[in-house]
Amino acid sequence: AQSVTQLDSHVSVSEGTPVLLRCNYSSSYSPSLFWYVQHPNKGLQLLLKYTSAATLVKGINGFEAEFKKSETSFHLTKPSAHMSDAAEYFCVVSERGYQKVTFGTGTKLQVIP
């Protein structure tokens, strides 16, 4: 069975401070893992993806995520939050291409000036 758990539905940080969005997954296969971002009134945009290459994955806009198999985690981080980072973030796991895709319930990131 495949599942994704985003541990926080809302995260609030001050501008310039680090961001941590947590994601745990379970999968019967070697999964591919993704983080997507959805800004208000805009479509989903791929931030980064893990597909069994390097465990530390760098994405766009300064985000990165580390795949930890022993902890079944794929947490998203950014060293310094920017106001434009305020959005909803989805952790996604897929098996066998996109034949089976599961989205997390999302984490809303609020950035305080």
Partner 1 sequence: DGGITQSPKYLFRKEGQNVTLSCEQNLNHDAMYWYRQDPGQGLRLIYYSQIVNDFQKGDIAEGYSVSREKKESFPLTVTSAQKNPTAFYLCASSIGPGTTNEKLFFGSGTQLSVL
Beta carbons of 17 and 83 less than 8 angstroms apart? no
Q: How far is the CB of 65 from partner 1 (least distance, A)?
A: 16
Least distance from C-beta 58 to partner 1, angstroms?
15
Question: What angle (nearest 5°) sits at the alpha carbon of residue 83, between those of residues 82 and 89?
Answer: 85
Q: Would you say 12 and 108 are in contact if contact means Cβ atoms under 8 Å apart?
A: no
**Does residue 7 belong to the site contacting partner 1 (CB under 8 A)?**
no
Residues in contact with partner 1 by CB under 8 A are 4, 6, 9, 32, 34, 36, 42-46, 49, 51, 90, 92, 94, 96-99, 101, 103-106
